[in-house]
Amino acid sequence: RKEVEQDPGPFNVPEGATVAFNCTYSNSASQSFFWYRQDCRKEPKLLMSVYSSGNEDGRFTAQLNRASQYISLLIRDSKLSDSATYLCVVNPYSGSARQLTFGSGTQLTVLP
Amino acid sequence: SQTIHQWPATLVQPVGSPLSLECTVEGTSNPNLYWYRQAAGRGLQLLFYSIGIDQISSEVPQNLSASRPQDRQFILSSKKLLLSDSGFYLCAWSVSGGAGNQPQHFGDGTRLSIL
């Protein structure tokens, strides 16, 4: 089983739609979780950290479900500029500098 | 604020030639440093990470090596490139210490093509 698994998509949604991605992780001892965004042929950029209580940043909401070992990202009122690949990132090595394991990403295309 | 610089942006090299990619971080001390490779349409593969000068951990055995001669400098090298070394190489840094709960921040990447 992969350490971090994501549905690769693609998700094609109309502008203004709400879209949600899930990501599962295998190590129940994982402590830190993040969502990154990667545009085509660009470097990944941190979108948001995921906290145990869930957190929101504008149109983006991240949730953590430790019991089921998954995290989610909800995007409301999708914009054309949201088109990108979204990477689920987990730290399964608590206390280790090795730190993060990246999922393969979910591709989102927002259509006009 | 912290910045990370990575160069060159693109590189075309023949099979069997050497490689040297450089990455430097500014605005922070003793960062953790990372080299990743991303093949076309694939996820990120961690190649090396470093918690300090001359302290390098290798994740994947291959014909690449890494060095950290200065606190904020990380170099990826190869003596003889293979076709399979083609890809998008990314350097990243994170704050050191803590419980490993720090995000990583990436440079712009180097797109390497082997001919």
- B107, A87: Cβ pair inside 8 Å? no
* Among B residues 13-72, those touching chain A with beta carbons less than 8 Å apart: 32, 42-44, 46, 49, 51, 57, 59
- State residue A83's pLDDT score: 98
Q: Does A92 touch chain B (CB under 8 A)?
A: no
- Average pLDDT over chain A, rounded to whole? 92
Return d(Cα A20, Cα B68) in angstroms, integer: 40
CA distances from B58 to A72, A82, B46, B50, B71 (A): 31, 35, 9, 9, 18
Angstroms from A17 CA to nearest CA on chain B = 26
- State residue A34's pLDDT score: 94
Angstroms from B94 CA to nearest CA on chain A = 9
- B51, A97: Cβ pair inside 8 Å? yes
Whether the predicted pLDDT of B16 surpasses 70 = yes
Helices and strands, number each (H, E), in chain B: 0, 11
- A100, B106: Cβ pair inside 8 Å? no
Q: What residues form DSSP beta bridges with B94?
A: B32
Whether the predicted pLDDT of A27 surpasses 70 = yes
Q: What is the mean pLDDT of residues A93-103?
A: 73
Return the percentage of chain A with pLDDT > 70, whole number: 94
- State residue B100's pLDDT score: 60
**What confidence category does residue B62 fall into, taking pLDDT thresholds of 50, 70 and 90?**
confident
Q: Does B95 touch chain A (CB under 8 A)?
A: no
Q: Does B96 touch chain A (CB under 8 A)?
A: yes
- State residue B34's pLDDT score: 94
- A51 and A57 in contact (C-beta within 8 Å)? no
Q: What is the mean pLDDT of residues A95-110?
A: 84
Highest mean pLDDT among A25-29, B32-36, B56-60: B32-36
- State residue A29's pLDDT score: 85
A39-86 pLDDT, tens digit each: 999 999 999 999 888 899 999 999 999 999 999 999 999 999 999 999
- A43, B107: Cβ pair inside 8 Å? yes
Return d(Cα B105, Cα A29) in angstroms, integer: 23
